[in-house]
Amino acid sequence: MSQVQTPVAGLELRTAVADAYAEVLSGDALHFVEKLCCEFQPQREALLRRRRERQREFDEGKFPDFLSHTETVRQAEWRVASIPADLQDRRVEITGPTDRKMMINALNSGANVYMADFEDANCPTWHNLIDGQLNLCHAVDGTIDFTNSEGKKYRLNETTATLMVRPRGWHLPERHVCLEGHPISGSLFDFGIFFFNNARKLLEKGSGPYFYLPKLESHEEARLWNNVFVMAEDELGVPRGSIRATVLIETIPAAFEMDEILYELREHSVGLNCGRWDYIFSMIKKFRRHPEFTMPDRAQVTMTTHCMHSYSLLAIKTCHRRGVHAIGGMAAQIPIKNDPQANERALDAVRADKVREVTDGHDGTWVAHPALVPLAKTVFDAGMPSPHQISRRRDEVVVTAQDLLTVPQGQITEQGVSHNVDVALQYMAAWLGGNGCVPIYHLMEDAATSEICRAQLWQWVHQPNAVLSDGRKVTAELVRGVFERQLGRLKKEVGTERFAAGHYQTARQLIEDIVLRDDFMEFLTLVGYEHLD
């Protein structure tokens, strides 16, 4: 190991870096990141303060609505820049962390797009982040390979999925790299390192630096990303508009600003995506002080409920009017190899979800496992024979603020409480061990689903109308008992030795504290980040 010495005034790496990572953490690359941080850190901090101000407004009952001062943007006829050739057809996109083997499998999966994830599917240890950047460099070069412990070799096929990269959200810091003594933005670090090392190579190959932008809450946050893109392109001397980005609409405030977000990114946009899990989490989080927004069990908040379907239709209508893709949500199922009947039921559920998406007008969809790529492609091939269906404008769709704010009906059950505790514990234990993409009960869970679990638990404990289907109030004592029982069950299942080494006790302490405290913690991952190396 050696310490990378950065020739950048004010930029400091607070960790030892292996020599193998020098190609991605060169002095020039770090200098590029430092320029981005110096230019945009003040705007980022101001926008995060504005998030906190809006939360106070939500707490006081001033709920979101379509913005009056941007009505001219929504009413005007304009379109975003033309879509690059290798992003014309996005009918199936696979997502996953930047692990070397998983990256090769995803690129070879037959999907149209692979989204390499530095955010919800990644635990942000320094090793994970920098190893992921190195893997991406080798993938862009076409040299990436992997040999497992049994000697099986993995290499890229001749034809692979188009690469997109998701950096961390604006709220996440990178504490291993500091500027003037303060951690820099995780977003700017992830974006900057990847862009500096790969943008020119991607353009020479006929592709480009393509990104997914997570957790945006306003068009001003989209404007900040656009300003970052413009500066980055100018600094590297690549053509304006080389960068293309898809924004995940996964917060309730962003759902009211879809047109405005596309407008701010119109030179760099290639559409919107319905990030359904984080969207549910956002609804719980933003309206947490209001009993009328108490949600039923997570399993009952499906895409067929009124608010979720309305948000999906609005994304389609907005994107198609502006000439870009509307990408549907995630199918998180993974194969159930030991139970063919259960596996078939899971595939039937995926099929029905994808039929709904393509019928509504989505231009593509997400899957979490290569085994689901053929199923999703079959559905979209049947319902969308052309590369996309942007020409279906869906002008007849009318979505009001009330449509977006209608709370799904349903029950809170003891099983729902137990399932939330169970999944949150298992995921957080794995996350603390360095794994951000975790198979739990035949679903590929990431940070978004864990956030829903703990947010629902907090809401049910703190809202007086949160009553179980059998009439009992959800109390702190009830939830503590569920944590105790679930932790005991996990200890029996994994064995004493694995349990002791598996971060389960720490996970329980973190999540139980977050669920039972009076104030609501904005992001579970921010709390957990303090426990990572």
Can you tell me the distance from the alpha carbon of 107 to that of 282, in angstroms, rounded to the nearest whole number? 31
Residue 261 is predicted with a pLDDT of 98
10: left (phi over 0), alpha (psi -120 to 50) or beta: left
Do residues 214 and 248 lie in contact, with contact meaning Cβ atoms separated by under 8 Å? yes
DSSP one-letter code for 87: G
Residues forming the active site: 166, 446
Can you tell me the distance from the alpha carbon of 348 to that of 170, in angstroms, rounded to the nearest whole number? 37
In DSSP terms, which residues pair with 412 in a beta bridge?
Answer: 468
In DSSP terms, which residues pair with 365 in a beta bridge?
Answer: 92
Secondary structure of residue 267 in the 3-state scheme: coil
Residue 99 is predicted with a pLDDT of 95
In DSSP terms, which residues pair with 173 in a beta bridge?
Answer: 185
How are the residues of the chain apportioned to helix, strand and coil, as percentages rounded to the nearest 5? 50, 15, 35
Name the pairing type of β-strands 145-147 and 153-155. Answer: antiparallel
Burial of 42 (C-beta count, 10 Å sphere; 0-12/13-18/19+): exposed
Which amino acid is it at 247?
Answer: V
pTM of the model: 0.96
Secondary structure of residue 362 in the 3-state scheme: coil
Can you tell me the distance from the alpha carbon of 287 to that of 269, in angstroms, rounded to the nearest whole number? 30
Name the pairing type of β-strands 325-331 and 269-274. Answer: parallel
Residue 11 is predicted with a pLDDT of 87
Measured CA to CA in angstroms, residue 401 lies from 60, 314, 465 at distances of 18, 11, 24
Residue 16 is predicted with a pLDDT of 82
Give residue-wise pLDDT tens across range 426-447. 999 999 999 999 999 999 999 9
> Computed from CA positions of residues 453, 457, 463, 465, in that sequence, does the dihedral angle turn out positive or negative?
positive
DSSP one-letter code for 389: -
* Ranges of the chain with pLDDT below 70: 1-10
Task: Provide CB contacts within 8 A for 224, sequence distance 6+.
Answer: 40, 43, 44, 47, 170
- The alpha-helical segments, DSSP class H, found in 304-389 are 306-322, 340-360, 373-383
Measured in whole angstroms, how far is the alpha carbon of residue 357 from the centre of its chain?
A: 19
Can you tell me the distance from the alpha carbon of 262 to that of 319, in angstroms, rounded to the nearest whole number? 8
Do residues 328 and 366 lie in contact, with contact meaning Cβ atoms separated by under 8 Å? yes
| The two structure tokens encoding residue 178 | 């500091």
Nearest CA to 275 among 301, 239, 247? 247
Residue 17 is predicted with a pLDDT of 82
